[in-house]
Amino acid sequence: MKIHEIMTGDPIVLRPDQTLTEVLKIFVDNKIDGAPVVDHHHRLIGLFTKSHIYRATLNSADEAVTVGTLMTRDVYAGHPEDDFENVVTPMVPRLPVVDANNRIVGMVTRGDIANAFFNSYQNISRELDVIIDSTHNAIISIDEYGNLKVFNQSAEAALGLNARDVIGRHITEIIPNSGLLNVMKKGQVELLQKITINGRDFISNRSPIIKDGRSIGAVAVMHDISEIEKISRELQVVRELNEELDAIIESSFDGLYITDGNGITLRLNKAFQMISGVKPNEFIHRSVEDIEAEGVVNQSVTKLVLERRESVTINQQYKTGRTALATGNPVFDKEGNLFRVVCNVRDITELNMLKQRLEQVQGLSELYASELSSLRIKYASPLRLVANSAPMRKMLEMVLRVAHVESTILITGESGTGKELIAEIIHENSPCRQGPYLKLNCGAIPEHLLESELFGYEGGAFTGARREGKPGYFELAAGGTLFLDEIAELPLGLQVKLLRVLQSKEITRVGGTNAFSVDVRIIAATNRDLMELVKSKMFRGDLYYRLNVLPIYVPPLRERKDDIPSLVAYFMKACNEKYQLAKRVSPEVIEIFMEHNWPGNVRELENLIERLVVITAGDTITLADMPAHLFPESAIERDTEAPPVSVSAIVPFKEAVESVERQILELAYGKFGSARQIARELQVDVSTIVRKAAKYGIATHQNGRP
């Protein structure tokens, strides 16, 4: 603070020749208690105050005494540009102010000093209030009694309170958990303390207010954590975005090379390093011209983009010997300035590898198509072929392999094993599946008609023949498959003709002279041993070997008993749908089926299931419904320990018979438990045992067996 800021300008001055009376009147009229004394040049020569008047009065001086005789001549004066703090002291109650020529220009009185101190205090106070209110953090202070003294605007906003309403109130009424009372009592600083006020979290730094070595209050500076958490979240998002961008760039299969608008390298990924053979630390912050000059690449696509300011695609040769297809794309800012160039580099060698892999995949696709055909037969069409057993799975694999070739196939197996179904599957999976599929049973057609059925005939070839003639099976099956069932029944004369068809793919109609070719696949089947027939001269050996190019053996049902439950389920479903029933088979019946040898194979099982579905009265087919031939015979082992039948009274014959039957059944169930075993021991049908047990109310689940 400068003197001129607080002094009284143009002050009242005295002359040395003025009397006390004149001065006293000036002091009273102007309400002053002192004035500087100046000469005729208005230069300061002294200071005259009321103290001089008091001393003159005490000394009974004459009223005519002048100021000059009483004034203080050794006067301490100030200058307008002096600092107030450096000039005014408690020992200087008033201060004349002079210019450089010692002319009086002002006067600093006690009032001026008091006003200066008061104004200074007010200014400092206002400045402190502004500073405290301008602080972003909430500031709260208490006095030594715990009453609130400071509550700035940030505290108002954070806590939703008005300073006018809380100043002077006890801190526990406003913020019970502030901790300021403890800080004041302990006189210790508490830093970075978390506090929750009105559901909001703050970080608080609390300090005691020490004066003269005594704690007279405490102050807390609180920062809203939500802002820190917000900034932290924003930083985390930015960090995650950077990490994600880095991961995307580094995981790119193609090489990525990025420069700024001046062609200075900013970054390159690992894929580009592998293609170009450069390391990041070798070219980061270097120009693309350096890369081109050092022979890393024959031509820089980035350089072309910078020149043309558009996307450019070229072939590049790298020092590693790789050839790549490079595309450079310019990136413009909002003002249209080119500030980035992003280059995508793809190794053409990798494309060639992909081409080879594609060819491999195509080969695998064909293999998978074959396997899918197998799975389709096994799973997608379970009602046509059951192949759960190992022999059937092995046979099915063979069927699918031979189906894709055009060689002649010979299917052998017992009657009723499903040879005709196997032939159909072969046709459906063969290259000629779009062609016709014809079946001919060589044993079902008379010998004199079989030749014309196979080869056809010309008009008038024999009595009763059509005038226009008739094509045979070979012609009708052209482009497809001809299934010759019971091939062993083919007469020897026709065997020769069939052999010619197999060798030359040509036929001649009955009564005709012209041979013409036919494109037909032959599948033959028989339930007889053709080799034995060849040995006995009943079948031509050359035809046998011509037919037996791809042999397929269909195992009988007794060799594939694992398929029986699935076959039973299929036939039961088919019969239930056919007759609109809902019957089922008990587990005991399946057990009997598994023990039977099935000489008639699948056909026998199918016919038996249909018969049982039709004739069984109940909804469940049980052992009582089974025919006797399914149960194996066994010697009767009579129980020598069993008591003989005795009669102690005369009763009606029917009751006696029923009593004996009941006793025998109870004894048998107690010993054997199984109706099937009881039937063997008693030499009766199982159905009889089950029926009698039901009649007499005998429990049929003794020993845990039916």
Measured CA distances, 175 to 182, 198, 481, 677 (Å): 13, 9, 99, 93
pLDDT bracket for residue 639 (50, 70, 90): very low
Mean pLDDT of the chain: 81
Query: Does 538 share its domain with 389?
Result: yes
The pLDDT of residue 632 is: 61
pLDDT bracket for residue 332 (50, 70, 90): very high
Query: Considering the entire predicted model, what is its pTM?
Result: 0.41
- Residue-wise pLDDT for 123-160, tens only, equals 777 777 778 777 878 888 888 888 888 888 888 877 77
Q: Is the pLDDT of residue 329 over 70?
A: yes
- Residue-wise pLDDT for 63-122, tens only, equals 567 777 777 777 778 888 887 777 776 666 678 888 888 888 888 877 777 777 777 777
Contact criterion met (CB below 8 Å) for 552 and 399: yes
pLDDT bracket for residue 649 (50, 70, 90): low
**Domain final residue pick, 360, 380, 400:** 380
Q: Which structure tokens are listed for 173? A: 């009424």
Q: Is the pLDDT of residue 705 over 70?
A: no
Percentage of the chain modeled with pLDDT above 90? 11
> What is the span of the domain harbouring residue 103?
3-118
Give a yes or no: residue 665 inside a domain: no
- Residue-wise pLDDT for 210-219, tens only, equals 888 888 888 8
Coil, strand, or helix at residue 489? helix
The pLDDT of residue 410 is: 94
Query: Does 78 share its domain with 217?
Result: no
Closest of 280, 286, 292 to residue 255, by C-alpha? 280
Kindly report the length of the chain: 706
CATH code for the domain of 262: 3.30.450.20
Query: Does 457 share its domain with 549?
Result: yes
Query: Does 580 share its domain with 548?
Result: no
Give a yes or no: residue 248 inside a domain: no
Query: Does 104 share its domain with 143?
Result: no
Give a yes or no: residue 518 inside a domain: yes
Query: Does 375 share its domain with 413?
Result: no
Angle between helices 390-403 and 419-428 (to 10 degrees): 40
**Domain final residue pick, 504, 536, 555:** 555
pLDDT bracket for residue 359 (50, 70, 90): low
**Domain final residue pick, 581, 596, 630:** 630
The pLDDT of residue 411 is: 94
Q: Is the pLDDT of residue 364 over 60?
A: no
Measured CA distances, 600 to 460, 596, 604, 620 (Å): 44, 11, 5, 24
CATH code for the domain of 523: 3.40.50.300
Kindly state the DSSP code that residue 706 receives in the 8-state scheme: -
Q: Is the pLDDT of residue 524 over 90?
A: yes
Kindly state the DSSP code that residue 330 receives in the 8-state scheme: E
Coil, strand, or helix at residue 168? coil
Query: Does 354 share its domain with 445?
Result: no
The pLDDT of residue 187 is: 84
Give the residue with greater pLDDT, 190 vs 649: 190
Give a yes or no: residue 696 inside a domain: no
Q: Is the pLDDT of residue 646 over 70?
A: no
Query: Does 363 share its domain with 490?
Result: no
Q: Give the pLDDT mean for 630-652.
A: 54
Query: Does 296 share its domain with 180?
Result: no
The pLDDT of residue 534 is: 92
Query: Does 211 share its domain with 262?
Result: no
Give a yes or no: residue 168 inside a domain: yes
Q: Is the pLDDT of residue 351 over 80?
A: no
Query: Does 225 share its domain with 266?
Result: no
CATH code for the domain of 91: 3.10.580.10
pLDDT bracket for residue 321 (50, 70, 90): confident
Q: Dihedral of CA 288/290/292/294: which sign?
A: negative
Query: Which amino acid, 545?
Result: Y
SS3 labels along 94-155 = CEEEECCCCEEEEEECHHHHHHHHHHHHHHHHHHHHHHHHHCCCEEEEEECCCEEEEECHHH
Query: Does 419 share its domain with 527?
Result: yes
Give a yes or no: residue 85 inside a domain: yes
- Residue-wise pLDDT for 406-429, tens only, equals 889 999 999 888 899 899 989 988
Split into its structural domains, the chain has a count of 5
